[in-house]
Structure 1
């Protein structure tokens, strides 16, 4: 009899990857949760044999209905794009004195709590809950970086589960995806590449630049989730293809592309100028936190894929660079 895996936010980058991996596995029924089952991405997944149901992380009851009977649930949320591209409607939602970043944090945290409450209601059938999280930057930096809200919002869901849903916590594994190597596609404020007048490239990142960063191709998410499904719950997995310092990454990028490139250390204040209003500062603090304390904050519970004892196919960063079309960046 097939077991049921429920993938929340299945049309997103992480969710679709999990779906594609489990589609290749025998013995699984897949249910995808999305806000809009009628959109083309949802219909394309339904055409592959996935049961698509409507569910919204802002509506706990809709998620509760969607996860009924699940053996495995993959849960993840997305930090609101309002912090990068706010609209007048977004600004109108702010409380007096509240910043957009704080509002985005509170919104995502509540969505995560809603998912946790919903999944906790399926505890009798549940074997594993995989929560896509990140490290608690405020905690591990001892308050130095209190503004990496898109990390902390996910990490604080774990705190909530451990405090409010101890039975669910026993069946939970945490997946911390490394820094998406594809983020350069979001522009200079996300990954601050700059083309010089002589045609060479320079990458300026806040922090020392001396700490290896876990870099990952986001379409590999499903392989890490599958691996977690093959081992007992209770893991805190940091997922990556390679761990490289920024200078090592730039050197590799230059070698593969044939384009001269250098790495330079930068400051949070300088990076913030790339996107005033909070977005630049958020990304800058993330980079600086990862350099000062490590991307995972030095959390002693974190393990790597090789510690799981199962095969986890990953995309190496050199392979990604070779296969990517870099013309939008360098032209």
Structure 2
């Protein structure tokens, strides 16, 4: 079904329309058998990505989603039936800003009277670890927004709030701090501050995240469900590198390193010290607490009560096969 302008179709407002998650949501809705009107938000409608979406029928709105532009932000949500909201910590590395903007977006969607508000949140590292991991701002800021949304959107009210948590991005292993490092003998090593048998929910975010969002829009999710995990499969780091080796024909191994070693390597690779520490604590926290922490989603330990599954979401191996590794494993 193509995107429509028919006013009988529900209007879905999408934050981050040209980004990885928002773009995935639009792609999934455009491929649905059901018609949707889609309003996408961007800071620059003249950019190629925004123009491409506009050509597909998306109503692209030029708006800065910052607190100092609050009045305009509230206006652009008006008329929407469904809202998808995501914030981007990595754009500015500022937890206070991310939290303030996230809360404002929640307020704007609620004020617009949307029937369904879908938020891309994460667990709180500091709360789940009882104060052990205190530097994971990109988790804690989003968790604060989640808590705020639940405080102002009561269960059973006119607006339904759902937190669709993206799993660990497969593309993290294309970034300098997760990249396979070439060794003197021609082999490659992925080094993280976590045991090789740590199990994580992997996701091809650009391809599959939107499928989970579409499913909670189109299907009746049990009223008791508050969190939905978006991932293709639970898999250990050991199995990741094993499958990567088998599929690419390259020798790739996994090495558990200390936090200090990981941080030093990240800083040497150009990351600020505090961001390197943040990423180190993130990987340690995932290993110790489980990616989804104490939510009902579970941690791949046989007690997984994932309320929403999506057929066709890529496994790690499927993503590896579909990915060009020629430059990364060169």
TM-score, normalization: structure 2?
0.87
Q: Which runs of 4+ in 1 moved over 6 A?
A: 303-306
Distance 1:184 1:144, change over 3 A: same
Of the three residues 290, 296, 300, the one matched with 1:294 is: 290
Of the three residues 36, 39, 52, the one matched with 2:47 is: 39
Give yes or no for contact 1:55–1:62 (8 Å, CA) kept in 2.
yes
In the alignment, the residues of structure 2 paired with residue 196 and residue 301 of structure 1 have an alpha-carbon distance, to the nearest angstrom, of: 38
Alignment-derived partner of residue 264 in structure 2: 273
Asked if 1:4 is matched to 2:14, the reply is no
Of the three residues 137, 141, 166, the one matched with 1:153 is: 141
1:1-331 alignment, distance < 5 Å: 1-25=8-32, 26-58=34-66, 59-83=69-93, 104-123=94-113, 126-166=114-154, 171-187=160-176, 189=177, 191-219=178-206, 220-229=208-217, 230-232=219-221, 234-276=225-267, 277-300=273-296, 307-308=306-307, 311-331=310-330
Alignment-derived partner of residue 270 in structure 2: none
Give yes or no for contact 2:198–2:236 (8 Å, CA) kept in 1.
yes
Count residues in correspondence.
Answer: 307
Alignment-derived partner of residue 5 in structure 2: none
The CA deviation at 1:42 is 0.8
In the alignment, the residues of structure 1 paired with residue 256 and residue 62 of structure 2 have an alpha-carbon distance, to the nearest angstrom, of: 45
The CA deviation at 1:209 is 2.9
Give yes or no for contact 1:224–1:239 (8 Å, CA) kept in 2.
yes
Give yes or no for contact 2:227–2:296 (8 Å, CA) kept in 1.
no
Alignment-derived partner of residue 97 in structure 1: none
In the alignment, the residues of structure 1 paired with residue 284 and residue 212 of structure 2 have an alpha-carbon distance, to the nearest angstrom, of: 26
The CA deviation at 1:227 is 1.0
Q: Secondary structure at the match of 1:328?
A: coil
Give yes or no for contact 2:298–2:305 (8 Å, CA) kept in 1.
no
In the alignment, the residues of structure 2 paired with residue 213 and residue 11 of structure 1 have an alpha-carbon distance, to the nearest angstrom, of: 27
Give yes or no for contact 1:201–1:260 (8 Å, CA) kept in 2.
yes
Alignment-derived partner of residue 91 in structure 1: none
Distance 1:47 1:262, change over 3 A: same
Q: Secondary structure at the match of 1:133?
A: coil
The CA deviation at 1:118 is 0.5
How much is the aligned-residue C-alpha RMSD, in angstroms? 2.1
Give yes or no for contact 1:161–1:169 (8 Å, CA) kept in 2.
no
TM-score, normalization: structure 1?
0.87
User: What are the superposed Cα offsets for residues 114-155 of structure 1, whole Å, 9 maximum, x if unpaired?
Assistant: 1011111022xx221110011111111111111111111111
The CA deviation at 1:35 is 1.4
In the alignment, the residues of structure 1 paired with residue 72 and residue 14 of structure 2 have an alpha-carbon distance, to the nearest angstrom, of: 14
Give yes or no for contact 1:238–1:303 (8 Å, CA) kept in 2.
no
Give yes or no for contact 1:192–1:205 (8 Å, CA) kept in 2.
no
In the alignment, the residues of structure 2 paired with residue 290 and residue 169 of structure 1 have an alpha-carbon distance, to the nearest angstrom, of: 35
Q: Secondary structure at the match of 1:172?
A: strand
**Tell me, which stretches of 5 or more residues in structure 2 are unaligned?**
1-7, 268-272
